[in-house]
């Protein structure tokens, strides 16, 4: 049986679509503007007369960026930190959250409180730096992935998922068949937990990809620094190595502005391309705990 919408409901729907469209435009405008500035002709960039769509077309800024070997090295470092760090994060989170989701774990409340306590109190910046240095991690790749190997908040989220989505009867049946806890985790729980694992991987990966503060603290060697540090040098320190070979003063000034936008696009584009592949799992994961049975 179909129900016709009243006039008030139709007006309300139109209002919702209008507000959402406006919000989408406001959100997309900065991204479109940066793309337009990065591919417009240098003379229009120098005149600052680009407001929305690109004027002219030029990929000279991208050519200058990709011709610099430091960019590729920084990109490799960021990819390494993201892949290795996310793998460690997801593994540590799962093996930490699953035991806490089992009601028969002795001291479960104590361990949960102990983990939650770390969300509100930390050792501070100086003790963390001294710890990294005394452990021999300073100026090594592992300084970017081991200190934040697990997040207390994500452990709680994963524990909630395991409690609400993995039936106790399934675990009991596996034990009757002779499976131990490790076999149950890797052969039953993890294959059934694709949504939460995808959400954890996405959140951790975005965190690693955008991380730059730890690199500033622990990685003085430029050969180990991620692309975000390179972006900081271009945006803030006006790094001259990209345009040093340009002799024409007009082109140098134009590319100096345009390079900033090109580097921004190069930095954020990969992580944006990953999101659509995890979106369906992301929607499921963020709904954890929304419906109680």
What does the pLDDT average to over 56-66?
82
pLDDT given at position 243: 58
pLDDT given at position 218: 93
pLDDT given at position 208: 92
What does the pLDDT average to over 224-251?
69
Given a contact cutoff of 8 angstroms between Cβ atoms, the answer to whether 99 and 105 are in contact is: yes
pLDDT given at position 250: 62
As a whole number of Å, the CA-based R_g of the chain is 25
CB proximity list for 282: less than 8 A, separation 6 or greater: 198, 199, 202, 275
User: Of 165-174, 223-232, 281-290, where does mean pLDDT reach its minimum?
Assistant: 281-290
pLDDT given at position 105: 84
CA-CA distance, 18 to 194, in Å (whole number)?
Answer: 35
Residue 109 has pLDDT above 90, yes or no: no
Residue 90 has pLDDT above 90, yes or no: yes
pLDDT given at position 41: 84
Residue 174 has pLDDT above 70, yes or no: yes
Read off the pLDDT band of 80 (50, 70, 90). Answer: very high
Given a contact cutoff of 8 angstroms between Cβ atoms, the answer to whether 37 and 261 are in contact is: yes
Given a contact cutoff of 8 angstroms between Cβ atoms, the answer to whether 71 and 230 are in contact is: yes
Residue 172 has pLDDT above 70, yes or no: yes
Average pLDDT, the chain: 83
pLDDT given at position 144: 92
């Amino acid at each position: 049986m179909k129900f016709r919408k009243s006039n008030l409901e139709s007006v309300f729907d139109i209002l919702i679509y209008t507000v959402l469209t406006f919000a989408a435009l406001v959100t997309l405008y900065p991204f479109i503007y940066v793309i337009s500035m990065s591919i417009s002709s240098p003379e229009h960039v120098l005149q600052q007369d680009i407001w929305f769509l690109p004027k002219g077309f030029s990929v000279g800024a991208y050519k200058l960026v990709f011709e610099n070997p430091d960019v590729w090295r920084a990109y490799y470092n960021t990819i390494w930190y993201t892949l290795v760090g996310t793998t460690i994060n997801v593994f540590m989170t799962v093996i930490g959250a699953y035991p806490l989701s089992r009601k028969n774990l002795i001291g479960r409340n104590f361990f949960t409180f102990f983990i939650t306590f770390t969300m509100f109190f930390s050792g501070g910046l100086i003790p963390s730096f001294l710890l990294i240095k005394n452990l021999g991690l300073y100026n090594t790749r592992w300084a970017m992935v081991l200190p934040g190997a697990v997040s207390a908040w994500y452990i709680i989220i994963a524990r909630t998922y395991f409690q609400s989505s993995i039936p106790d009867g399934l675990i009991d049946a596996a034990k009757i068949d002779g499976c131990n806890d490790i076999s149950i985790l890797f052969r039953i729980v993890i294959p059934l937990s694709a949504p939460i694992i995808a959400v954890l991987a996405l959140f951790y990966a975005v965190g690693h990809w955008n991380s730059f503060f730890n690199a500033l603290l622990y990685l003085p060697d430029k050969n180990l620094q991620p692309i975000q540090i390179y972006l900081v040098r271009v945006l803030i320190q006006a790094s001259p190595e990209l345009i040093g070979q340009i002799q024409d003063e007009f082109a140098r000034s134009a590319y100096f502005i345009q390079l900033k936008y090109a580097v921004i696009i190069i930095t954020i584009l990969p992580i944006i391309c990953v999101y659509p592949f995890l979106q369906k799992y992301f929607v499921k994961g963020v709904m954890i705990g929304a419906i109680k049975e």
